[in-house]
Amino acid sequence: MDVPIFAVLESNAPEEVMWMLQNGVEDFITPPLKPVDILPRLWRTLERTRPDDPLTQAWKAKLGLQQFVGESQAFLAAIKIIPLIARSDANVLITGETGTGKELCARAVHYLSGRSSQPFVPLNCGAIPLELVENELFGHQRGAFTGASGTQPGLIHEATGGTLFLDEIDSMPLFAQVKLLRFLQDREYRPLGAAKMLHADVRVVAATNADVEEDGKAGRLR
């Protein structure tokens, strides 16, 4: 009997889970089923088992783009280039009005890339208090500020090997933009209170609904 490499279980009863794992199932998930949970695990399973199989590549392309629904020529042209962008390792800036699917694009770029088996870490820059953005991104060392009783890695460290998605990048304060720009150039950063620079292999995908040219000229966006 053929056993699937990925299974959906009605429950996580120990005996059922053990049987699955002993008989070749690579991963499993239990209801309720959410695309945000299922897709990353399917990609990791495919990467581990048949990374170079043409069928695997076809499934990844289908899964990565299945959430995009539209018929306009501009929409179809934009969707068509997502796999091409994903195959490069360049940082990406996605622009568009609120509700047009910028995060869906970012996730597709990640999951169709060679980083798909590694973390996709999202941060909404507009939802973080200004004074905490730097700490959220870069982390801190023990004693870096009052109340820092231990070391805390930032989201850059968490996204190592994968993709860091910065939504509403125009909301990031300028002092944090300056440090992020250095990271984009050198892949190096310094946690708050740290004595040495750290290196991280992270692809950055940013998104904004702002006019980036206008914000750039006005000095609001680096």
Selected residue with higher pLDDT from 188 and 20: 188
166, 126 in Cβ contact below 8 A? no
More confident residue, 40 or 170: 170
Closest CA to 167 of 127, 123, 210, 121: 123
C-beta neighbour count of 42 within 10 angstroms: 20
Single pTM value for the model: 0.71
Contact 117, 61 (CB under 8 A): no
Distance of CA 62 to the CA centre of its chain: 19
Of 26-35, 104-113, 188-197, give the lowest mean pLDDT range.
26-35
- The most confident of the ranges 51-60, 186-195, 198-207 is 198-207
| pLDDT, tens digit, 9 for 90 and up, residues 126-141 | 888 887 888 899 988 7
User: Sign of the CA dihedral 94, 168, 178, 105?
Assistant: negative
106-117, pLDDT tens digit by residue? 988 998 888 888
Q: Hey, what CATH topology would domain 69-217 get? A: Rossmann fold (3.40.50)
Mean pLDDT of the chain: 79
- How far apart CA 180 and CA 76 sit, in angstroms, is 32
- What local confidence, expressed as pLDDT, does residue 2 receive? 46
- Assign 183 a pLDDT band (cuts: 50, 70, 90): very high
Burial class (CB in 10 A: 0-12, 13-18, 19+), 97: exposed
pLDDT recorded at residue 15: 64
